[in-house]
Amino acid sequence: MGSLVQTSNSPLIPRFRTSHRILEEARVQCRSGVRCRLVEPLKFENGKPSTPALPADKDPSFLARPQLGNIVSRKNDTRLRIFSGTANPSLSQEIACYMGLELGKINIKRFADGEIYVQLQESVRGCDVYLVQPTCPPANENLMELLIMIDACRRASAKNITATQGRESIAAKLVANLITEAGANRVLACDLHSGQSMGYFDIPVDHVYGQPVVLDYLASKRVCSDDLVVVSPDVGGVARARAFAKKLSDAPLAIVDKRRHGHNVAEVMNLIGDVKGKVAVMVDDMIDTAGTISKGAALLHQEGAREVYACTTHAVFSPPAIERLSSGLFQEVIITNTIPVLEKNYFPQLTVLSVANLLGETIWRVHDDCSVSNHFATSNNVMIVIRSRFNTLYYLVQD
């Protein structure tokens, strides 16, 4: 599985993957003509996955995006600005690199009493501004920072302000009102915990799913489809797991039935479905304390599963999640980089996939006023295909 790399002067770190082929060195031609040399993962304070690498057998012309009108170059497109909050600067940098842009200059600091100060250090008048600030822990701190960033852009006469969030906050309706009143024109969200949360907003919401990135990675493992079974860790995630199973050669589905006695406390009762001798892939939108998914994995092993994989978009990893996930129950724990993982939380089974190309492509399409429906029909629970600059992205549309 090779999820770790180690050098003589560095501790074990998880291998960050952006596609099923990892190159030690590649050159990527971005839209604006900017080139990013990929030798090793870029390093930031909170850890950073490597920038998407170009397959060795692909010519740079493969990177050309579908022709949209007369748009041929982005180098002089000064109307699009991307600013990063402090929640996940590494993902923001990777998105900007994918798009061939530089991150906007912004000064964010905290006074001695904890008050947040935000100052834009470049003009955004008349620009489409995208703020990358997931509401990951500390959620209240990051949310307030996002609201202040939105207000700063509004007061600087930005034309449109889009807030990019990794996951929804508690009291979703109140948060939706706060973001709207602060001045945001649009929200770009990745794998909301509850899809109904989109209805809380009175502004447009673009909801993308991290499933395509995980599916692409699992496909590279070339596990026989007859050996696969997709497992929902609870009844509430059945629709998500069923959609995931359809993309994995229509793999069979199993469900862990549990009874929750309180917040962050779960008790597994029984298993619906057959996992004996199979490779079980557990799918969820996020892992918090890992109580549900680890107890589910223990049950799968009791029922005869050969291997158990955990797949999730958002790695919250509240204690004691790391102890549970690294206890030997899982062959591999596959997450994305919507939430930065602290180095102290690395463990041998951890694999981190990048969603930068997915979010970057979405930002371009919103900026171009090019909705998904302009290119392919959509309906309930269908798969739509976008030819990305690096690979084919499969978006699950769930109305």
Residue 190 pLDDT more than 50? yes
What are 342-351's pLDDT values in tens digits? 999 999 999 9
Percent of the chain with pLDDT over 70: 70
Under the banding of pLDDT at 50, 70 and 90, the label for residue 137 is confident
* The two structure tokens encoding residue 318: 């509240």
C-alpha closest to that of 35 among 43, 44, 24, 25: 25
Under the banding of pLDDT at 50, 70 and 90, the label for residue 261 is low
Length of the chain: 399
Average pLDDT over residues 155-170: 80
pLDDT value of residue 60: 32
Residue 149 pLDDT more than 70? yes
Residue 9 pLDDT more than 50? no
Instruction: Return the SS3 of 169.
Output: coil
Pick left, alpha or beta for residue 33 (phi over 0 → left; psi -120 to 50 → alpha; otherwise beta).
left
Instruction: Return the SS3 of 364.
Output: helix
Pick left, alpha or beta for residue 183 (phi over 0 → left; psi -120 to 50 → alpha; otherwise beta).
left
Under the banding of pLDDT at 50, 70 and 90, the label for residue 132 is very high
Place of tokens 């978006």: 395
pLDDT value of residue 225: 82
pTM (two decimals):
0.73
Which of 43-47, 231-235, 336-340 is least confident? 43-47
pLDDT value of residue 371: 56
Between residues 131 and 264, which one has the greater pLDDT?
A: 131
Average pLDDT over residues 18-45: 34
pLDDT value of residue 258: 77
pLDDT value of residue 21: 36
Under the banding of pLDDT at 50, 70 and 90, the label for residue 171 is confident
Instruction: Return the SS3 of 201.
Output: coil
Average pLDDT over residues 104-114: 95
C-alpha closest to that of 330 among 356, 311, 349, 312: 349
Average pLDDT over residues 220-242: 90
User: What is the average pLDDT value for the chain, to the nearest integer?
Assistant: 77
Under the banding of pLDDT at 50, 70 and 90, the label for residue 196 is confident
Tell me the pairing of strands 350-353 and 16-17: parallel
Q: Determine the Cα–Cα distance for residues 356 and 354; give it in Å rounded to an integer.
A: 6
Which of 16-20, 101-105, 383-387 is least confident? 383-387
pLDDT value of residue 215: 93
Between residues 368 and 36, which one has the greater pLDDT?
A: 368
What are 287-305's pLDDT values in tens digits? 999 999 999 999 999 999 9
Q: What is the CA radius of gyration of the chain?
A: 21
Per DSSP, 45 falls in state: T
What are 43-99's pLDDT values in tens digits? 333 333 333 333 334 333 323 333 333 333 454 467 899 999 999 999 999 999 999
Residue 25 pLDDT more than 90? no
pLDDT value of residue 164: 84
pLDDT value of residue 220: 87
pLDDT value of residue 264: 62
Which of 22-36, 146-160, 207-221, 329-343 is least confident? 22-36
